[in-house]
Amino acid sequence: MKRILDGLPYPVVAGRDAAQLVAELAGPLRHRTIVVSDRLVERRGKLVADAVRAAGCDVLGVVNIAAGERRKHLKTVTDLHTAFLHAGADRHTLVIAVGGGTLTDTVGFAAATLLRGIPWLAVATTIVGMVDAAIGGKTGIDRPEGKNLVGAFWPPVGVVADLDAVTTLPLRERRTGMAEVVKAAIVGDAELLERIALFDVKGDPQVWEPLVARAAAVKIGVVARDPLERGERKTLNLGHTFAHALEQASRYRMPHGAAVALGLRAAGILARDRTGWPHADHRRMLHALRRCGLHVHVRGLAPEAVMGAMRTDKKRVNGILRFVLPAKLGDVRYGCEVPAAAVHSALKELGTAVASGGW
């Protein structure tokens, strides 16, 4: 089973036999390859290495690393550069990254910066990775000052969504992944929201396939029209100015998707008086998030700490914070300037449960 998702200059495929799909993409290139996998999916990395070797590629090395947001930093990139050089990498060596979004962001950036850029291929093993992180060529790492502050646009030569990887994904990762699916639905596929509300996150890979394909299609469409984020691609940052600040303020204890769920509600609250975001759309969004088991309010939140973290966000222009705000389902605006007082009160509102009929 394989599903080809068209629209980008490189192939994006989703399927259950990811190792075979990678071999089909890498084999004809006859590259020398290095496989880097997240330790938690080491076995999947090995399957990929075996399959590309069988397809005629020379595998220079298989590297397993600890992934996660706390490892998405420069030291990991430097260690990868060392491993690649010691394995004999040159400008034609293909790096195959097998893991979630933190792994593909980091390995993609290591590939972007070694020898002024060597080719890489992403194999996504989390929902966030399959519908979002592995697609679109944004690579990067975090800095103590904030998330994703160092990076490069460096598109992969291909993307494989490893659907069978879902089988080992803990419930928490399945749920947090759904936040990006909800975001995709708001940005470009309103009908997907209804499906999300009926979706069983405990389901097996077959159940995930159509959902992953639809959410990934939204991302592919946006990235195809605006690969370098000059305009429309900014809409994919919906909820993310809040999310990145919440993650940073929690010292990365809060998973990305959990922060995105909260960020989506906060963006909706800000949009209420600014874009005419309808209450009905807001409630559909909250309903979908909650049906996936995501929290839409957070206890013990210190708005000042979150606002402090926002000051280093990349999306500021000349020191003014701009937000991506929904106007209605399928219509998301970027560059909306919001006064600090309104951001502060939205954060306070995020500390309270949604009252019936409330926001």
- Using CB under 6 A, count the residues that bind ligand NAD: 28
172 catalytic residue (yes or no): no
Q: Give the count of beta carbons closer than 10 Å to the beta carbon of residue 126.
A: 32
Q: Catalytic site residue 229?
A: yes
> Does the footprint of ligand NAD cover residue 69 (CB under 6 A)?
yes
Alpha-carbon distance of 210 to 213, in angstroms, equals 5
Chain residues 78-137 in contact with ligand NAD, contact rule CB under 6 A = 99-103, 105, 125-126, 128-129, 132-133, 136
- Amino acid letter for position 75: K
The CB-nearest residue to ligand NAD is: 101
Q: Radius of gyration of the chain from Cα atoms? A: 20
68 scored as a contact of ligand NAD (CB under 6 A): yes
Closest listed residue to residue 166, CA positions, set 120, 199, 119: 199
Catalytic residue among 174, 244, 265, 284: 244
344 is catalytic: no
Of the two residues 33 and 125, which places its CB atom closer to ligand NAD in the complex?
A: 125
Do strands 120-124 and 94-99 pair parallel, antiparallel, or not at all (unpaired)? parallel
Q: With binding defined as CB under 6 A, does residue 209 bind ligand NAD?
A: no
- C-beta closer to ligand NAD: residue 216 or 301: 216
Catalytic annotation, pick one of 44, 183, 240, 265: 240
C-alpha 265/C-alpha 282 separation (Å) is: 8
CB of 98 to ligand NAD, least distance (A): 9
Q: Residue 57 or 179: which CB sits closer to ligand NAD?
A: 179
DSSP letters for 252-315: T-S-HHHHHHHHHHHHHHHHHTTT---HHHHHHHHHHHHHTT--S--TT--HHHHHHHHTT-TT
Q: Which residue intervals of the chain are DSSP H helices?
A: 18-26, 42-54, 74-87, 101-113, 127-128, 171-188, 190-198, 205-225, 240-249, 256-272, 279-291, 303-310, 340-350
User: Active site includes 265?
Assistant: no
Out of 56, 82, 86, 168, name the contact with ligand NAD by CB under 6 A: 168
Which range touches ligand NAD (CB under 6 A), out of 63-71, 190-198, 266-274, 322-330?
Answer: 63-71
- Residue 180 annotated in active site: yes
- Phi and psi of 134, rounded to 5°? -75, -15
Q: How far apart (Å, rounded) are the C-alpha atoms in residues 98 and 145?
A: 27
For residues 118 and 111, is the Cβ–Cβ distance under 8 A? yes
Nearer residue to ligand NAD within complex by CB, 133 or 286: 133
Active-site residue 138, yes or no? yes
What part of residues 236-265 is at the interface with ligand NAD (CB under 6 A)?
A: 256-257
126 within 8 A of 101, measured Cβ to Cβ:
yes
What part of residues 33-52 is at the interface with ligand NAD (CB under 6 A)?
38, 40-41
Q: Which residues lie closer than 8 Å to 86 by C-beta, 6 or more apart? A: none
Catalytic member of 3, 42, 53, 229: 229
- Choose between 72 and 265: whose C-beta lies nearer to ligand NAD: 72
Say whether 188 sits in a helix, a strand or coil: helix
Point out the catalytic residue in the list 75, 116, 230, 251: 116
Toward ligand NAD, which CB reaches closer, 31 or 256?
256
- Binding-site ranges for ligand NAD (CB under 6 A): 38, 40-41, 67-69, 72, 99-103, 105, 125-126, 128-129, 132-133, 136, 138, 148, 165, 168-169, 173, 256-257
Hey, which residues are catalytic here?
Answer: 116, 138, 180, 219, 229, 233, 237, 240, 244, 256
